[in-house]
């Protein structure tokens, strides 16, 4: 099964340390311009040059391997890549992009084990690193806290894997499940209709049994979960939404036209949901990018998930976009 990027890098680093290898951990702490990787990205370099994770398209990694093998850092240090046209060309950074890294000897086995345990238990965990002394300790960060660096202290925040529960095992769900895994989602699919679930065979996308409301309840949604209702069957989709909208899930969406979703909101209002909870529903689901085919609809949904997940406020698109029902991602193939 695919793992979260943080967990994969830190788990690999732990295995190296347990095997007697030294390693260097690099954390992206600041970017300027069009940098290749976001703040918080991790890279581990083993003493023999093996890598886990990524901070660029490859050239920075090559430079780090050479530096670590020649003289691994004995204490935490800051390195900056890019900033000039020559440096951007050398390290294949986008024009004007600059990347700041904190390099440090990899944390000890006990600390890495504690971080791994927290992530697998779906808890946010923070690590505070003092660059002057090299000392680090773990702490519990606020739910909205992200990796921060003030030049002296690095607060690195590691979180559990993002989860995506999809109600419905149709064509859109197949494409969505495959693409979502590339965005680091653990994908779960629920569809009690045997004619759909019997043929589900998307690798690493687990088919969970039972009815949609039970699947949502069993998931125990948190702020790193999204729930999508994609069956076009109100009996199934509404069951999931009734539970998901009461949860801390960061995104709850339903496929269908604007008219269908208006009726859906009216139905949901007959149950024990507040107006604020109903207002959390994204419906029609996805961005109006003119999607017509299942893969395009999947792209539109994941694009909106990425925007919400990254805290981007989505503006109103030009009126010419998505006027016809077929031009909206969640209006295609509406029953």
Please give the average per-residue pLDDT across 288-304, as a whole number: 95
As beta bridge partners, residue 188 has 165, 206
Identify the H or E element spanning 81.
strand 77-82
Q: What is the pLDDT of residues 168-212, one digit of tens each?
A: 999 999 999 999 998 889 999 999 999 999 999 999 999 999 999
Per-residue tokens: 233: 């069957």
pLDDT given at position 199: 94
Identify the H or E element spanning 277.
helix 275-279
Place of tokens 């020649």: 70
pLDDT given at position 160: 83
pLDDT given at position 131: 97
| Chain mean position to CA 69 | 32
pLDDT given at position 330: 41
CA dist 183 → 14, 39, 179, 187 (Å)? 24, 16, 7, 11
Name the average pLDDT for the chain.
Answer: 88
The phi-psi region of residue 11 (left if phi > 0; otherwise alpha if psi is between -120 and 50; otherwise beta) is alpha
Domain with CATH 3.40.50.720 in the chain: 162-327
CA dist 331 → 167, 296, 301 (Å)? 17, 12, 12
Identify the H or E element spanning 99.
strand 98-105
Q: With bands split at pLDDT 50, 70 and 90, how would you rate the model's confidence at 85?
A: low
Least confident of 185-189, 261-265, 281-285, 330-334: 330-334
Between residues 76 and 183, the one the model is more confident about: 76
Q: Is the pLDDT of residue 87 over 70?
A: no
Per-residue tokens: 14: 């732990």
Q: What is the pLDDT of residues 35-53, one digit of tens each?
A: 667 889 999 999 999 999 9
Q: How far apart are CA 159 and CA 102, in angstroms?
A: 19
Per-residue tokens: 118: 């927290």
Number of helical H runs and strand E runs in the chain: 11, 15
**242-279 burial, b for 16+ CB within 10 Å, e for fewer?**
bbbbbbebbbbbbbbbeebbeebbeebeeeebeeebbe
pLDDT given at position 119: 86
Between residues 226 and 183, the one the model is more confident about: 226
Q: How far apart are CA 124 and CA 138, in angstroms?
A: 11
First-residue to last-residue Cα distance in the chain: 34
CATH number of 162-327: 3.40.50.720
pLDDT given at position 1: 39
């Amino acid at each position: 099964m695919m793992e979260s990027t943080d967990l994969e890098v830190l788990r690999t680093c732990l295995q190296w340390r347990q095997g007697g290898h030294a390693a260097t951990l690099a954390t992206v702490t600041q970017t300027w311009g069009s940098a290749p990787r976001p703040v918080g990205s991790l890279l581990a370099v083993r003493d023999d040059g093996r890598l886990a994770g990524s901070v660029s398209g490859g050239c920075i990694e090559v430079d780090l391997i050479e530096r670590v093998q020649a003289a691994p850092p004995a204490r935490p240090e800051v390195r900056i890549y890019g900033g000039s046209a020559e440096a951007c060309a050398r390290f294949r950074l986008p024009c004007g992009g600059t990347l700041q890294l904190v390099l440090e000897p990899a944390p000890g086995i006990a600390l890495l084990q504690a971080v791994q345990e927290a992530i697998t238990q779906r808890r946010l965990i923070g690590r505070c690193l003092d660059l002057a002394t090299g000392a680090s300790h773990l702490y519990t960060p606020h739910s909205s806290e992200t990796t921060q660096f003030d030049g002296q202290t690095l607060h690195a925040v590691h979180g559990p894997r993002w989860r995506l529960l999809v109600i419905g095992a149709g064509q859109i769900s197949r494409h969505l499940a495959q693409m979502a895994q590339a965005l680091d989602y653990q994908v779960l699919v629920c569809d009690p209709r045997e004619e759909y679930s019997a043929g589900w065979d998307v690798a690493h996308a687990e088919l969970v049994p039972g009815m949609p409301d039970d699947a949502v309840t069993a998931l125990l949604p948190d702020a790193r979960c999204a729930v999508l209702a994609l069956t076009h069957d109100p009996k199934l989709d509404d069951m999931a939404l009734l539970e998901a909208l009461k949860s801390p899930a960061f995104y709850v969406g339903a496929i269908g036209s604007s008219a269908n979703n208006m009726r859906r909101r009216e139905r949901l209002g007959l149950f024990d949901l507040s107006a604020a909870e109903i207002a959390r529903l994204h419906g029609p689901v996805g961005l109006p990018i003119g999607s017509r085919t299942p893969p395009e609809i999947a792209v539109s949904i994941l694009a909106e998930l990425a925007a919400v997940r990254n805290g981007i406020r989505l503006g109103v698109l030009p009126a010419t976009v998505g006027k016809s029902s077929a031009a909206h991602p969640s209006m295609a193939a509406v029953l």
